[in-house]
Amino acid sequence: MVKIILLFLFSLLVLNSCAVFDPIPQPEREFRGFWIATVVNIDWPKDGNDPIEKQKADYLKILNFYHILNFNAAIVQVRTAGDAFYASEYAPWSRFLTGQEGKAPETEEPILKWMIAETHARGMEFHAWLNPYRATFDLNTEILSPDHDYNQHPEWMLKYGKKFYYDPGLPKVRERMVSVIDELVSNFDIDAVHFDDYFYPYTIAGEVFADSLSFEAHAPKGQSLADWRRSNIDRLVKDSYEIIKARKPWVQLGISPFGVWKNKATDARGSDTKAGQTTYENLYADPLLWMDKGWLDYLVPQVYWSMDLPVASHRKIVDWWAENTTNSNLYIGNGPYKIRNNSDKAWDIKNELPKQLRLARNTGAVQGNVFFSAKSLMESNADVVKYLRRNYYKREALPPTSPWMSGQATAKLELKSIQHTNDSIVLNFKDLTAYRFMIVYPSGKKIKSRYPMKRMLAKLSVGDNNSIILPKKILGKRKRVAVLLIDRFGREYEALVVDL
């Protein structure tokens, strides 16, 4: 009898141990993004007055850190407050880049073009992050360029708290924002346009957002102020999506709303949370509608709370978004900036972020994660980084395609010639203009139906010409490889076996 009891207890121990040590899924496709915040130099540049070469070196440090972690998308803030990190017809150069608003960087090559190229060279997508309605970061308007909209169009501005905002209710403002997006998409080789959570500003107690005049002038008869405000944001999202797809259909539109749509206390459809503000009621943004209408490619709710925080549980919010996401890829925004740096002591535990990532991996509707912000894991918490690298990001993954891109791509590659140099092999193709990346695998004579990511030798960027350079150091003594092209939509093409 004693032996039977001991055997039973041992079996329970084995079963529980297996549950604890279940292998962490390693998906072939998963969005792995990080936000590079440029406003007030949060992540980059470290100082707008730094020499351009130091700024470039600092940018590459960020890219290289996340490249080692096998991340695949940089979400870089290129418009912070009515400014730009590129030469723009509609906004002055950002002081966060050059130390003085309106002053161009001292470089011959356009800085944004360089940033995009370096990001692609590391196998990452470049998502251009814009803040559409914040006009200033403070009330110190004397430092603004004469070309800033605050000076050019004061009738567009509303003071709220300690900032000025564009009035979203003015059609001219919306037209300007769409023009900004059109210019950016048309002139730069970006992979996505990205909005953060700032639409109408977060509510400030005792303050009034003074848009009553634009409400009276532009709201349809009988429409409430709240519904009118939401309709203004709806139009911006719709018009932005349409101009993006009209210019470059492969460029995605992604939005990262505040994590709580509504609390269940105010709407039975809401989440089981007690958030002090919500994206629907305070920011006048309705991502459920945008998804329903098909105006998005991906959504990244900012779920920066710990797993079981009573007022806003990460677990409950992720489950809610997973149940309510339609017609859009769903990624989860995580807040590693809180690790060992927050009043919520759950963040003091090493595995708080890993638990959140495991939840995402085990939730079918979730297809990836984005970290805020880039420097959070670079400056401290090396033990957490090591754990993530070993358990969650052991190998690379391709980003998901847009939900509007279906089916396997079928075009055939045409290899024209092969050139050998001392340290590389150059593959010359007939036409690579439709492609973004090439993946190189070891291969036999026959094409396989599937090449697993764990066998990948390299992921290389496709540049402006029709050649791909294969460094010999990644090939070793191999005489044959399979090359697989990824087009600008993220679709995989049939592999081609190449004899070297």
Distance, CA of 219 to CA of 225 (rounded, Å)? 8
Domain 415-499 is found in CATH 2.60.40: yes
Write out the two tokens for 263.
């609390």
Equal fold, 31-391 vs 415-499: no
Confidence band of 40 (pLDDT split at 50, 70, 90): very high
Distance, CA of 328 to CA of 367 (rounded, Å)? 10
β pairing state of 192-195 and 252-255:
parallel
Q: Is the pLDDT of residue 6 over 50?
A: no
Instruction: For 58-80, write each residue's pLDDT tens digit.
Output: 999 999 999 999 999 999 999 99
Angle between the 382-391 and 352-361 helix axes, to the nearest 10 degrees?
Answer: 20
Instruction: For 178-192, write each residue's pLDDT tens digit.
Output: 999 999 999 999 999
Distance, CA of 470 to CA of 427 (rounded, Å)? 8
Distance of CA 418 to the CA centre of its chain: 36
Distance, CA of 144 to CA of 339 (rounded, Å)? 35
Predicted local distance difference test score (pLDDT) of residue 378: 96
CB 494 within 8 A of CB 412: yes
Backbone angles phi, psi at 49, to 5 degrees: -90, 0
Instruction: For 372-402, write each residue's pLDDT tens digit.
Output: 999 999 989 999 999 999 999 999 999 999 9
**Total count of residues recorded for the chain:** 500
Q: Is the pLDDT of residue 8 over 80?
A: no
Nearest Cα residue to 91 out of 148, 34, 49: 148
CB 90 within 8 A of CB 143: no
Predicted local distance difference test score (pLDDT) of residue 490: 94
Average pLDDT value for residue range 34-40: 98
Predicted local distance difference test score (pLDDT) of residue 408: 56
CB 200 within 8 A of CB 233: yes
Q: Residue 181: which residues within 8 A CB-CB, separation 6 or more?
A: 130, 193, 240, 243, 244
Write out the two tokens for 198.
């700032």
For tokens 């403002």, what's the residue? 173
CB 347 within 8 A of CB 313: no
Confidence band of 19 (pLDDT split at 50, 70, 90): very low
Q: Residue 301: which residues within 8 A CB-CB, separation 6 or more?
A: 256, 257, 258, 259, 287, 317, 321, 330, 332, 333
* CA terminus-to-terminus distance, the chain: 68
Predicted local distance difference test score (pLDDT) of residue 189: 98
pTM of structure: 0.95
Q: Is the pLDDT of residue 2 over 70?
A: no
Distance, CA of 440 to CA of 474 (rounded, Å)? 9
Average pLDDT value for residue range 210-230: 98
Average pLDDT value for residue range 275-284: 98
* Buried/exposed 296-306: b ≥16 CB within 10 Å, e otherwise: bbbbbbbbbbb
CATH code assigned to 31-391: 3.20.20.80
Nearest Cα residue to 308 out of 299, 300, 317: 317
Backbone angles phi, psi at 470, to 5 degrees: -100, 110
What residues does each domain of the chain span? 31-391, 415-499
Q: Is the pLDDT of residue 482 over 80?
A: yes
CB 97 within 8 A of CB 111: yes
Confidence band of 447 (pLDDT split at 50, 70, 90): confident
Q: Residue 67: which residues within 8 A CB-CB, separation 6 or more?
A: 122, 123, 124
SS3 for the chain, per residue?
Answer: CHHHHHHHHHHHHHHHHHHHCCCCCCCCECEEEEEECCHHHCCCCCCCCCCHHHHHHHHHHHHHHHHHCCCCEEEEEEECCCCECCCCCCCCECHHHHCCCCCCCCCCCCHHHHHHHHHHHCCCEEEEEECCCECCCCCCHHHCCCCCHHHHCHHHEEEECCEEEECCCCHHHHHHHHHHHHHHHHHCCCCEEEECCCCCCCCCCCCCCCCHHHHHHHCCCCCCHHHHHHHHHHHHHHHHHHHHHHHCCCCEEEECCECCCCECCCCCCCECCCCCCCCCCCCCCCHHHHHHHCCCCEECCECCCCCCCCCCCHHHHHHHHHHHCCCCEEEEEECHHHCCCCCCHHHHCCCHHHHHHHHHHCCCCEEEEEECCHHHCCCCCHHHHHHHHHHCCCCCCECCCCCCCCCCCCCCCCEEEEEECCCEEEEEECCCCCEEEEEEEECCCCCCCCCCHHHCCEEEECCCCCEEEEEHHHHCCCCEEEEEEEECCCCECCCEEEEC
Q: Is the pLDDT of residue 56 over 80?
A: yes
Distance, CA of 261 to CA of 265 (rounded, Å)? 12
Predicted local distance difference test score (pLDDT) of residue 462: 92
Confidence band of 406 (pLDDT split at 50, 70, 90): low
